[in-house]
Amino acid sequence: MPFVLGVNFHEKKLVKKALESFYALGPQTSARIMAKYCIHPLAKLGTLPAKTVTSLTAELSTMTIENDARRLVQENIKRLRDMGTYRGRRHAMGLPVRGQRTRNQISTARKLNVLERGGGDRVRNS
């Protein structure tokens, strides 16, 4: 069971999927990280040498991901709200922020536009 950044993954999990399970780490970044350590796109965590897994953890720990990234987004929203802007208010109300109509189809806004954007700590199953 390889540990990457303190998270326990299954050995058969794709490295790409494992990396992208971190908040604020998408396909672009994961592809670059994998190229940096010469990991091919279909590699699974079990096949990586222990050295590479530790260097992945080292690499990830220097990046703004997970709670740092969440905090960044949340702070931006909080700033808007504290200034009393329209965008801040709309965020607080869970409504569309950029002038979309609200008669229907606002489920994305309901889902995403909250003050605690990005949820709390990571909850997931490897």
Partner 1 sequence: MTMASPNCWRCLARPSQRLLVPTSIAGPSTTAAFTTSAARFAGERKEAGGNPLSRHIRSGKKLILGKKRHKGDKSSGKSVGEGERKAFRKRITLSNNNALDVPGLDEITAENMTDQAAVGQVMGIPEEVIDQLRIVEAFKPTQQWGLFRRPHMLIRRETVDFVKAMTETVARKGTFRSVVTGPRGSGKSMLGLQALCAGFLNKYVVINIPEAQDIVNAHTEYATIPNTNMFSQPVYLIKLMQDMYATNKEVLSKQQVGLDHMHLPISVPRGWSLAQLASATKEPEFAWPVFQALWKELLLPGRPPIMFSLDGLSHIMRPSDYRSPSFELIHSHDLSLIRLFVDALGGKTHFANGASIVGIMTKGNSLKIKSLEKALEQAAAAQAGLKIPPRDPFYSKYDEKVFESLKGVGIFEVNGVSKAEARALMEYWAASGILRMRIDEKNVSERWTLAGNGVLGEMERASLFPLRL
Q: Least distance to partner 1 from the beta carbon of 84, Å?
A: 43
Q: Least distance to partner 1 from the beta carbon of 36, Å?
A: 5
Helix 27-36 × helix 50-61 angle, to 10°? 130
**Which residue number, 48 or 109, has a Cβ lying nearer to partner 1?**
48
**Which residue number, 35 or 58, has a Cβ lying nearer to partner 1?**
35
**Which residue number, 17 or 71, has a Cβ lying nearer to partner 1?**
17
Helix (H) or strand (E) holding 115: none
Binding site for partner 1 (CB under 8 A): 31-32, 34-38, 40-43, 47
Helix (H) or strand (E) holding 76: helix 67-83
**Which residue number, 47 or 85, has a Cβ lying nearer to partner 1?**
47
The candidate with the shortest Cα–Cα distance to 36, out of 72, 13, 63, is 63
Q: Are 78 and 34 in contact (CB under 8 A)?
A: no
Where b means 16+ CB within 10 Å and e means fewer, 88-104 reads bebbeeeebbeeeeeee
d(CA 72, CA 48) in angstroms, rounded, equals 32
Q: Least distance to partner 1 from the beta carbon of 109, Å?
A: 27
Q: Least distance to partner 1 from the beta carbon of 55, Å?
A: 12
